[in-house]
């Protein structure tokens, strides 16, 4: 399994922050179980295994973490319910160190949206920010949802994931397309959540795209494979119909947060659909 590629001046490394599981039916939405259960292992409680894969983007000067991970601040009941597992040292900090980066060296932490399975690791077991020297960025609408979720959104957000960042003035919000650094763009598209973003990494004529929950796993590349968790399925269809064909046509490196097997690959078009091809490092420049 390839976990590192080069996009121009950017070294991109797939990190680890454990794994968990969610209901298979919810993960695949309107897709019938006889179809999706052929694609993934299924646990006895009908959940399917998922990774939480942050990405390190390093240009030699800046060290950027995209999506910190699920974190370890969970009760035993929650760990059992969601099959949360950080065994074998599979934590964000240990994974970063294996990639040659200390937490205090991280300059930017980019959060595509503020769901707990994506940003729980932004604070450690002590409840304090992990990246104390970093700028933290998230869509403003996602920050607002985390602090004051309505009844439809409450299960997806935890205010204590971001409150410590705000208390120390480490978190900033943005609206519309935003570029924290030259060559990196965060593009809010919506659908899965109100402000969920794509993250494009562009340099030297090559492009990588972090798909967040717009395409969570390799089994969600076909356009109809939209999660029931998405707040606005019609918008998700529009977003996926626009961006997945473009990624395939332009041969982007595609970075997947929840795929437990292949976090890096390319989208490939066929006559009627799209699929995922794990990435060979030689495919990128």
Fold classification of 4-283 is Metallo-beta-lactamase; Chain A (3.60.15)
Q: Give the torsion through C-alpha atoms of 58, 62, 63, 65, to 10 deg.
A: -100
Angstrom distance (rounded) from CA 229 to CA 233: 9
pLDDT in tens, the chain (285 residues): 569 999 999 999 999 999 999 999 999 999 999 999 999 999 999 999 999 999 999 999 999 999 999 999 999 999 999 999 998 768 999 999 999 999 999 999 999 999 999 999 999 999 999 999 999 999 999 999 999 999 999 999 999 999 999 999 999 999 999 999 999 999 999 999 999 999 999 999 999 999 999 999 999 999 999 999 999 999 999 999 999 999 999 999 999 999 999 999 999 998 889 999 998 755 555
Query: How far apart are the C-alpha atoms of 284 and 253, rounded to whole Å?
Result: 7
pTM score > 0.85 for this model? Answer: yes
Q: How many alpha carbons lie under 13 Å from residue 171 in its C-beta half-sphere?
A: 27
Contact 54, 71 (CB under 8 A): no
């Amino acid at each position: 399994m390839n976990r590192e590629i080069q996009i121009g001046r950017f070294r991109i490394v797939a990190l680890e922050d454990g794994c968990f599981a969610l209901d298979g039916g919810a993960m695949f939405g309107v897709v019938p179980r006889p179809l999706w259960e052929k694609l993934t292992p299924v646990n006895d409680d009908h959940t399917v295994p998922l990774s939480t894969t942050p990405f390190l983007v390093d240009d030699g000067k800046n060290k950027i973490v995209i999506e910190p991970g699920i974190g370890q601040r969970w009760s035993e009941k929650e760990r059992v319910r969601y099959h949360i597992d950080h065994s074998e040292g599979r934590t964000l900090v240990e994974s970063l160190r294996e990639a040659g980066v200390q937490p205090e060296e991280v300059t930017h932490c980019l959060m595509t949206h503020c769901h707990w399975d994506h940003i729980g690791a932004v604070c450690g077991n002590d409840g304090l920010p992990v990246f104390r020297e970093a700028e933290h960025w998230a869509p403003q609408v996602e920050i607002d949802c985390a602090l004051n979720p309505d009844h439809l959104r409450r299960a997806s957000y935890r205010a204590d994931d971001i409150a410590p960042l705000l208390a120390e003035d480490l978190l900033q919000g943005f609206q519309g397309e935003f570029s924290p650094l030259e060559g990196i763009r965060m593009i809010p598209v919506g659908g899965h959540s109100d402000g969920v973003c794509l993250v494009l990494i562009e340099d030297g004529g090559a492009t990588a795209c972090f798909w967040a929950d717009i395409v969570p796993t390799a089994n969600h590349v076909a356009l109809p494979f939209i999660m029931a968790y998405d707040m606005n399925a019609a918008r998700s269809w529009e977003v996926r119909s626009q961006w997945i064909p473009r990624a395939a046509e332009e041969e982007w490196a595609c970075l997947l947060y929840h795929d437990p097997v292949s976090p890096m690959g390319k989208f490939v078009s066929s006559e009627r659909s799209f699929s995922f091809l794990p990435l060979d490092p030689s495919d990128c420049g």
